[in-house]
């Protein structure tokens, strides 16, 4: 049981009933592992343990020891920072097949942010010491990790640039494009509320709502029963670029 602010959260015990083969099948879909031979993937699967978390549970807190990587098997989690004034900034939403904490596999440094569930979730946990031993047997996974870290760094550079160079509607447009597949029409891969988008771009829900209304009026997006669909990608991309 963990106290976080004024809320008491309970962790559910690990679920050990999932077969090794099913975990292996799942890990084979995760970018970090999917280029490996099945036997190598099974080797990592043998080292994971599954743990279930209730909605709103704290998985890790900023400053906690960095001793494991987590893969989302079901549900969704968010990565957030909390300011001294009580405001929170969402750095990322992580869904099924995605992972976090991979930096800890390399440097073992304390966590740099909080990670909480947005819904009931099941996570696979891979400890740093186990990972390092397995990498010595499967060096190719180290290359996969470097590729993934490179992608994350590029994403972080883009986020920083957006915060510096774009106004709020521009940042909202960028978030929508990042969460929509290619093509038109393109429904968002993950449902995002105005509050969630606001946390991601550092703006109020009301400001995000005004931006979304602007995009609808100009035919860039459509919204049906809270499902947001990009219908004019070119126009939304233009709005997501800095205005000089």
pLDDT at 34: 81
pLDDT digits over 112-146, tens only? 889 999 999 999 999 999 988 888 887 777 777 77
pLDDT at 127: 94
pLDDT at 73: 96
For residue 185, is the peptide bond before it cis, meaning its omega torsion is within 30 degrees of 0?
yes
pLDDT at 162: 60
pLDDT at 221: 94
All residue ranges of the chain with pLDDT < 70 are: 1-18, 84-86, 156-164, 243-244
The correct answer on CATH 2.60.120.10 for the domain covering 2-159 is yes
At residue 39, the 3 state secondary structure works out as: helix
Class of the CATH-defined domain 166-239: mainly alpha
Nearest CA to 69 out of 150, 138, 129 is that of 129
CATH topology agreement for domains 2-159 and 166-239:
no
**Domains in the chain: boundaries:** 2-159, 166-239
């Amino acid at each position: 049981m963990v106290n976080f602010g004024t809320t008491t959260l309970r962790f559910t015990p690990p679920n050990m009933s999932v077969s090794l083969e099913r975990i292996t099948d799942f890990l084979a879909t995760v970018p970090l592992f999917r280029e490996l031979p099945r036997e190598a993937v099974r080797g990592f699967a043998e080292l994971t343990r599954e743990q279930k978390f209730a909605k709103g549970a704290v998985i890790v807190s900023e400053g906690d020891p960095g001793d494991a990587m987590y893969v989302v098997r079901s549900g969704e989690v968010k990565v957030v920072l909390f300011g001294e004034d009580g405001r929170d900034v969402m750095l990322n939403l992580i869904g099924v097949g995605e992972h976090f904490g991979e930096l800890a596999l390399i440097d073992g440094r304390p966590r740099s942010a909080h990670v909480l569930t947005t819904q009931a979730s099941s996570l696979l946990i891979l400890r740093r010491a186990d990972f390092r031993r397995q990498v010595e047997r499967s060096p190719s996974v180290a290359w996969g990790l470097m590729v993934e870290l490179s992608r994350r760094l590029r994403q972080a550079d883009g986020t920083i640039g957006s915060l510096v160079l774009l106004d709020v509607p521009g940042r909202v447009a960028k978030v929508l494009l990042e969460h929509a597949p290619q093509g038109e029409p393109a429904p968002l891969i993950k449902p995002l509320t105005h509050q969630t988008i606001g946390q991601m771009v550092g703006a109020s829900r009301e400001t995000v709502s005004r931006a979304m209304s602007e995009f609808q009026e100009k035919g860039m997006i459509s919204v049906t029963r809270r499902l947001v669909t990009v219908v004019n990608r070119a126009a939304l991309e233009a709005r997501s670029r800095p205005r000089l």
